[in-house]
Amino acid sequence: QVQLVESGGGVVQPGRSLRLSCAASGFTFSSYAMHWVRQAPGKGLEWVALISYDGSNKYYADSVKGRFTISRDNSNKKLYLEMNSLTTEDTAVFYCARDASGSGYNWFDPWGQGTLVTVSS
């Protein structure tokens, strides 16, 4: 079955970096756009970034532009989120999600179980 498993979360100090991974299985990873979405504790969902099926197009939320980089490895069916200059405002559960298309403009289904990133000194 289609499955997305995030990893790489943890506690990190402000100003430091962290890389999240999302391992995909059960579908042709290279055919679909992928997203990262985050949810701060007790708050709503916030879209973070999108990468098209072949990595040629990337979009970012203004809140992370210039600090976060989304990438993918189609041969190993993995999605990544490199996060730099982290602040306490970045504390959240990060979900990866598959788009219904290769472009990323459709809908997110399914979602992974999430990985918690805590930015704290």
Partner 1 sequence: QSVLTQPPSASGTPGQRVTISCSGSSSNIGSNTVIWYQQLPGAAPKLLIYNTNQRPSGVPDRFSGSKSGTSASLAISGLQSEDEADYYCAAWDDSLKGWVFGGGTKLTVL
Name which of 13 and 62 has its Cβ closer to partner 1. 62
Whole-number Cα distances in Å, 62 to 5, 30, 35, 101:
26, 26, 15, 23
Residue count, binding to partner 1 (CB under 8 A): 23
66 is a contact residue toward partner 1 (CB under 8 A): no
User: What's the closest the beta carbon of residue 43 comes to partner 1, in angstroms?
Assistant: 8
Binding mask 19-58 for partner 1 (x = CB under 8 A): ----------------x-x------xxxx--x--------
109 is a contact residue toward partner 1 (CB under 8 A): yes
In sequence order, the 6+-apart residues with CB closer than 8 A to the CB of 45 are: 37, 38, 39
106 is a contact residue toward partner 1 (CB under 8 A): yes
111 is a contact residue toward partner 1 (CB under 8 A): yes
**Are 41 and 47 in contact, with CB atoms under 8 Å apart?**
no
What is the C-alpha separation between 16 and 105, in angstroms, rounded?
Answer: 32
User: What's the closest the beta carbon of residue 70 comes to partner 1, in angstroms?
Assistant: 12
Q: Which residues of 5-37 are buried (b: 16+ CB within 10 A; e: fewer)?
A: ebeebeebeeeeebebbbbbeeeebeebbbbbb
Which residues would be at the binding site for partner 1 (CB under 8 A)? 35, 37, 44-47, 50, 59-62, 95, 100, 105-114
